[in-house]
């Protein structure tokens, strides 16, 4: 599950991609907060993280604010998730960037938990790394053959 912070980052990137890509325009934090629905107090820190990562830029002055500097189709969702929330692997022994051997594991090669989650994680990673901010800009439509419940019970 993604955190609120990541969701706000993705929404801010969508706003910036829609409004500033290639146009030379910049948006204030207030305007980004208004258009994305993200609280301004969280957004300030998120935008700084996105700027440090080279996804967005900022300008000072009267027409200042934040703007996309990396093409939306070149910003993978996995990049944003890792930037904001850290490693995505369900187990530390499956992480590419933050690998750690599980303390209770005697043999990774025969670990059933690792095998099951490894298969799931490999599929998830392939999918999430192929999706970009440009994909978020497309019209929202449900995945084919996948029913998204309006109000999931018990989660």
**Digit-coded pLDDT (tens) for 64-121:** 899 999 999 999 999 999 999 998 888 888 888 888 888 888 888 888 888 888 888 8
Give yes or no for a contact between 102 and 91, defined as CB atoms under 8 angstroms apart.
yes
What residue has token string 């907060």? 33
- The dotted CATH code for 4-68 is 1.10.10.10
* 54 Cβ neighbours under 8 A, 6+ residues apart: 69, 70
Model-level pTM greater than 0.85? no
How many residues make up the chain in this entry?
Answer: 155
Q: What does the pLDDT read at residue 107? A: 85
Q: Which two tokens stand for residue 73?
A: 């189709």
- Domain borders along the chain are 4-68
How far CA 26 is from CA of 4, 17, 72, 114, 149, in Å, comes to 24, 11, 15, 45, 37
């Amino acid at each position: 599950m993604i955190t609120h912070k990541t969701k706000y980052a993705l929404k801010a990137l969508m706003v910036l991609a829609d409004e500033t890509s290639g146009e030379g325009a910049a948006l204030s934090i207030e305007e980004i907060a208004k258009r994305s629905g993200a609280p301004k107090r969280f957004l300030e820190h998120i935008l700084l993280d996105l700027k440090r990562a080279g996804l967005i830029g900022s300008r000072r002055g009267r027409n200042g604010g934040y703007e996309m500097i990396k093409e939306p189709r070149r910003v993978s969702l996995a990049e944003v998730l890792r930037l904001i929330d850290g490693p995505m692997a369900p187990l530390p022994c499956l992480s590419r960037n933050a690998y750690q051997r599980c303390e209770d594991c005697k043999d990774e090669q025969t670990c059933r938990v690792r095998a099951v989650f490894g298969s799931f994680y490999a599929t998830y990673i392939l999918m999430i790394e192929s999706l970009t901010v440009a994909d978020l800009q497309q019209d929202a439509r449900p995945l084919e053959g996948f029913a998204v419940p309006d109000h999931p019970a018990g989660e």
